[in-house]
Amino acid sequence: MHILWLVMGILGALWIFWDTRKQGYPWESSVRWAVGTFFVPAAVIPFYLFQSNVRSKYNNQPKRGKPQDVTSDMQVRCVHCGEFYQGNPERCPHCKTVLKDE
């Protein structure tokens, strides 16, 4: 019976080590998970499965990219002629007044 527990502990530790490496854990962390699984598999394996499920949900969320330029869709009124224009031009498209100071 003791040999069965030893084999189960070794197989569980190997599986946890392989799975943590596959998920991108650092080598030291994978070894810690495997050692914990070998000594206390009934407590470590359910905890590992729970936290890996939470971690995978967190990692699957869309990443934030660069902020989009929302000013290109805004309409701004020219201070000289009063007409609206879009974007960020150097001159007013209607009266050709310089909008940007250098």
| Stronger pLDDT, 61 or 13, i.e. the higher one | 13
- What percentage of the chain has pLDDT greater than the value 90? 18
Tell me the C-alpha distance between 34 and 20, whole Å.
9
* Domain-wise residue ranges, the chain: 2-59, 66-102
> What are the backbone angles phi and psi of residue 78, rounded to the nearest 5°?
-70, 135
Residue 9 CB partners (closer than 8 Å, separation 6+):
37, 38, 39, 41
- Tell me the pLDDT tens digit for each residue of 19-59: 989 888 899 999 999 999 899 888 888 888 888 877 777 77
Residue 14 pLDDT grade (very low, low, confident, very high; cuts 50, 70, 90): very high
Query: Does the pTM exceed 0.75?
Result: no
